[in-house]
Structure formats: structure tokens, C-alpha cells
Chains A and B, each alone.
Chain A
Amino acid sequence: MSTRPTTEQHDTLLRVRGLKTHFRTEQGMIRAVDGIDFEIRRGETFGIVGESGCGKSVTAYSIMQLIERPQGDIVSGSIEYMGEGGRPIEIAALDPNGPDMRNLRGNEIGMIFQEPMTSLNPIYTIGNQIVEAIVLHQRVSKVEARKRAIELLDRVGLSDPQNQIDDYPHQLSGGMRQRVMIAMALSCNPRLLIADEPTTALDVTVEAQILDLMRDLQQEYDMSIMLITHNLGVVAENCDRVMVMYLGKVIEEGSAVDIFYNPRHPYTRGLLASIPQIGLSSRLMPIDGAVPMMQDIPQGCYFAPRCPHVMAICEDEPPMFFPTNAQRAKCWLYSAEAPQQHVK
């Protein structure tokens, strides 16, 4: 979570290309993730921001092959993971229940979830659950695994790991449970940690503790983190690069500094102008309207109905990316023809 110099060579850990994850529902096909590209580099924290329903969680679930089938499916695209061996693994082609995928989950990619209570099994002690993860993935005895579990619990900040390892999830507070989840995710030294809204359910002081812990562990374990959140403050404090999603598509991507200091897409600007900032008495400038339902998505730019800068072309044709240096935004305003467009 440190700001890395841009001169450092970019070593890609995960490369996603044209990923589409769709769900069949009674209301028709929901294109939860609809053709997104991005990559996560080694050692960086990559943020995904967006409002509910933008597809940020489905992106994470797709990478972990945790999409509920048969309703949902990765329709197309590739998810390449560059493991230790150097040969990339095509995650999208793996059997979700096969040994290769199981090996990848946990060993290479760990995940923590928003609600630590529902992601821990209430009928097993936390120790049992961590030991299970270690024994499944590493060739160690149960005794050895338990020793390691205690070390991990100590590392993530439980005050009395020797005894707390035999606690059940309900005996711990929300923050402590999230620490246990982190310990479990780290038990097999993953290269990539996917954190899906890890602090959303927590109080602000506990949130600060958990984020500090994740930052320290990232250095210690030399991990990449994919941080999914709707909290722009959390993004600014933790991420090196940020991707903004809207209705299943990436609409802007860039370094955290670019996104916050020079947001290009009107949606990103709208999001930033919507957050109350302490010490500024200026009135908030919210985005008009609400995110449309997946069933009635506009045909051109998805953001056109809410966009204050909408032009004629926006309603007819979906925009592509217009890259500028390291930043890219999917908006017709950056096309060379924009000045000739009729402003509505």
C-alpha cells in the first residue's frame, strides 16, 4: 500500500481480459460484469470502486471461480494468473471444483469478505477452521498447523491467541472476526489477497486498525491486494492504482493520484463531489438520478442519462477508452470529435 515509484518495472501478477460474467434471472440476462480489462501488479494495492450493482464483487468472485452456477457463468474472457513457475495459469479455463482451482484458492489467492460473521462457520472453533485451511493446502501435521495458526492469530493482533484459538466465531467481536478471516486468508502465504469491502461492516476506529494491519502484512508477505470498496477515503489511503466501475464496465482507470486529483470521467467526478469532506462547508454536488436497473440499461453510454455533460453521440453509441498516459477514461468527451458534437 505504499506509493511506488513509477520507474519500477511493472511485474504483472494477474491479467484480466474481456471478462464477462452474466447471470440468468427471471427478469432476463444480467450482465453483471460486461467485458472488463485490468491487471494487478506484484506488490501493489489495486482498488476497485463503484456503487452497489456495478459488478465489483462479481469481478472478485469470478477470479476466485466462486460464481454460483448454473445461474451465473463466466461467458467469455480470460483471467491469467502468473504463478511462481512463470507459466501463466488461465483461471477462466479451470474447473471451478477441480484440484487446480482448489490449489490456487488459498495457496495463491486468498480472499476476505465484508461480513466476517457469515463467512466463518459458526459451529467450528476459529482454530479448527484455520487448521483445516493449512492442512488442506500444505503438507504439515495437525499439531504443526495448530502452532502455525496460533502464530498467525498472534500476528493479526488477537490478544490471547493460545486460548482464543478455541473460541467460536460468535465469541469474537466484528473486528476480531475480520482479523481471523485475514489470518485464514494468509495461512498459506498467498501472492494475491482479494479484500471485498473488508471494513464496511466495522466501526471507524476498528476499520483503521484492520487497514493498518493489512498494510503491514502486505509488506511482510509481499502480497498484492485487490481492494474492493465503495469508500473513497479508504481507496485514497490504501491504493496505488484505482479502477472505477459502473454497471458492469470499467469507466476509468489510473493511479490513485490521477483519479483523485484529475478525474476525467464525469461519473468519477460526480462520485468525488458527492462525498462530504470535513472542513469544507461547500454544498455537495450529487449525481442526478440513480443507477438504472440492469434490465433497462441505456444503449449508448451507460452513464448518459445521469451525465451533466451528455452529448448526442453518448445516447447512441457506447464510448471506448480514450487513454492519456497511464490513465484511461471511457467517455466521448475525450474523443477528437467531441468538439463537433452537439451538446445537449
Chain B
Amino acid sequence: MSNETVLQVKELKKYFPIRKGIFKRTVGWIRAVDDVSFSVSQGQTLGLVGESGCGKTTTGRCILRLYEPTAGSILYRLDDQLENIVEFNHAEMKRVRQKLQIIFQDPFSSLDPRMTVHDIIAEPLRINRIGTRAQQSDRVEELLDLVGLNAAQMNRYPHEFSGGQRQRIGIARALALNPEVIVCDEPVSALDVSVQAQVLNLLMDLQERLNLAYLFIAHDLSVVEYISERVIVMYLGKIVEIADATDLYESPRHPYTEALLGAIPIPDPLAKRTRKPLTGTVPSAANPPSGCNFRTRCAYAQDVCAHEEPPLMHIAGDRSVACHFADELELTGFSRGGASRLPVHSALPDLTGASSTEGSPG
């Protein structure tokens, strides 16, 4: 896996106007994404977590220019050069979008109900005039096979498939043009637990096979930890912390990261832990607090936090934190409260017990 940067986001801003009155005068701005910078390396997964309204989905959509960024640049590697795609015209964007794809959260609304699965997956090929019809069909079959669906079902319509299968169809469509980067916007949050695991494993297998880079947007911290090498935590349109997944979960440096980790319910009834629940809710992005965005809910806030906005500072190793006291605070990482691993992941006892004569079944 090379460490080459395929996608770089620099000082990205996306403000949505708040319009009021009959003339729809702009009375204010929602700062959905406010000065966000990061880069994605080839073959890697960068997780993006945060609570609703933190700007994670907007960031993902700006990268594909489904939303036009208000400011900032999005650099994408084309022919070994990083080029700013914000300035690209329609035709150039079409070329970029072959390499830069997206998977959506809701497998029900992201597939056209009037198109067959074959047509849905072949559409990107058709639009980009790749191959003959027969070649396109072969490719569809290949893709269905790749995502674990039966190619015999390709003439069916989306409603005939379950949520997990529909998400696989969405993945097949995203893979049709051999992309390098896929923005995964909450790809598993609408799925049941057992199906969620199937899709996560599929995404990881595809990454290994096709050397894909993912920007994996999710609100579920356990899912993000499972799939990501690096993780960004966002709060109210800003990045509060970026670090390698293990570092971030074991030793967070931002109070918000600590609070998020402390709130994860642990699937172990014997886990004992003292949680310091975060009070209040996320303030409105139209009217964010002065200074540090997070200070209104922060247990460690001091006077300076109300006046000065903490910049995202590079600290030890390969991590950055936006907190005035990043060096002083002693924060607790994720702890499962004693038990180091849950028993379900230990070896399963023989189901049929000692009476079994055939060894373990299955």
C-alpha cells in the first residue's frame, strides 16, 4: 500500500444561506463546513465521525462537487499531479468522477426504482461510452459477482432486493468505472447488524483487491474504528482532531473525542465504567459559540476558550488537535471497563457439549 496522496482537501468551506421573507433575503449563513483540510492516501481508509449536523456529509458531497464549495480547494491526483477540481468544468468533472465515486446511506432512495439492476450498474458505463452493450453486460456480471450478488438476478428491480443487497448494488455501481477513491456516506447505518457486518467486510475485501481509498463517513464510532486507518473527528463544521485510529481511540487529545468515546455503549453487561456524560446538545451552526465551538459543552473550558478560537495544531507524531489545552489535559481513551475482550470473540465452546460424537457441528 503506497502512501501517495490521491485526494487532498484544503481549507474547504461550505456556507448555506438562511433566507427569510418574501424576497428571500439572506439573513445569515449556516457554516456547515468551516475550514476543513485533510488528505486521503491511496488504498487507505480515512474515517470521518461526528454527530448529526457536524458537516461530515456536506464535506463528502463537496468533494464530489455535488455541493459547490464556498471556498477552498479540492485537489485530486490526475496523471500523477494534484489538480484543483473546484475549477473544473463539466467535461473535466466527468473525467474526475470516473475515479471519484460515492456510496450513499439509504439503499432505498439511492437506486432508481424504475431501472433494472443491470441498467443501474451499467449506467455509468453508458454515460461514459465505455464498451459495447455486450461488453457492458459482461462488466455488470463481473461487478455483481465481485459484490457477492447473483448475476442471474440482474434483470430484477431494486424493490425485489433486501437492504443489504441494495447496498451491494450501490457498491457495484460505484465500482463500475474502476474508481480510486470512494466517498462512503454512512453506508451501513441503515442496515441490520448482521448485514452491516457483511457489507463492512465486503468493503474491506474490495479495498484490498482494488487498492481503493475510502473516505468513510459515519456516526458509529465502533464501525469507524473497525474500518479506518486514520480518523477525523468533526464538530460544528470544524475538525477537532485527526489521528491514527488506534491513537485516537486509546488516547484522545480533544475533550470532544473523549466525550464521544465515553458515550459508546459497550456490548458487555459486566463492563464497569464511570461515564462523564456530555451535557447539552450541539449548538446551531447558524450561530456558533464564540471562540472554541465546543466550549459550551466542554468540561475543561476556561476563559480563553470563549475569546480565542483554537487552531488545528500539529502535535506529536501524525496527529492534529484543535484545543488550547491539548498538551495539558489528561484525557481518558476508550475503555471497555475491565474485560479486555468480550467472550463472544473467544473460542466458542462446542455447541453440542460433551455428548457430541461428531465433533463440532458445521
Contacts and interface: CB of A to CB of B under 8 A. Distances in A.
A174 B53 CA distance: 12
A174 B241 CA distance: 26
Given A237-B266, A286-B197, A279 B281 contact: no
A51 B336 contact: no
Contacts of A290: 162-165, 194-195
Nearest to B165: A290
B21 interface: no
Nearest to B354: A339
B342 A260 contact: yes
Interface stretch (B2-10, B33-41, B79-87, B343-351): B343-351
B281 A175 contact: yes
B201 A277 contact: no
B110 interface: no
Interface residues of A, number: 63
A339 B219 contact: no
Interface string B195-232: 11110110000000000000000011111011000000
A260 B268 contact: yes
Nearest to B334: A278
A304 to B, nearest CB: 13
Contact of B352 (A236, A260, A277, A338): A338
A231 B226 contact: no
A333 B351 CA distance: 7
Contacts of B162: 290-291
Interface string A296-309: 00000000000011
A232 interface: yes
A82 interface: no
Contacts of A235: 267
A275 B362 contact: no
Contacts of A37: none
Contact of B260 (A176, A204, A234, A308): A204
B329 interface: no
A208 B267 contact: no
A207 B219 CA distance: 12
Given A230-B193, A333-B361, A204 B51 contact: yes
Given A272-B344, A287-B194, A237 B223 contact: no
Interface string B231-261: 0000000000000000001100000000110
Central interface residue in A234, A262, A278, by most chain B CB within 10 Å: A278
Contact of A232 (B263, B267, B345): B267
Interface stretch (B91-99, B116-124, B271-279): B271-279
Interface string B323-339: 00000000000101000
A284 B198 CA distance: 8
A203 B271 CA distance: 22
A233 to B, nearest CB: 3
B222 A276 contact: yes
Contacts of A262: 343, 349
A320 B348 CA distance: 23
B342 A278 contact: no
B53 to A, nearest CB: 9
A283 interface: yes
A339 B356 contact: yes
Contacts of A279: 225, 249-250, 334, 336, 341
A327 B271 CA distance: 21
B265 A284 contact: no
Contacts of A257: 269-270
A264 B269 CA distance: 16
A273 B277 CA distance: 28
A117 B116 CA distance: 35
Nearest to B52: A203
Interface string A262-286: 1110100111111111111011111
A286 B351 contact: no
B355 interface: yes
Nearest to B336: A279
Contacts of A75: none
Q: A-B pairs with the 5 shortest C-beta distances?
A: A233-B265, A286-B197, A276-B226, A274-B197, A203-B51
Given A260-B267, A276-B200, 19 more contacts: A51-B192, A51-B193, A233-B264, A236-B266, A236-B268, A257-B270, A260-B268, A270-B194, A276-B226, A278-B221, A279-B225, A284-B197, A284-B201, A285-B197, A286-B198, A309-B351, A309-B362, A333-B361, A338-B355
17 contacts: A3-B269, A205-B259, A208-B278, A233-B264, A236-B268, A236-B269, A237-B265, A257-B269, A260-B267, A271-B194, A272-B267, A277-B222, A279-B336, A291-B162, A309-B362, A338-B355, A339-B357
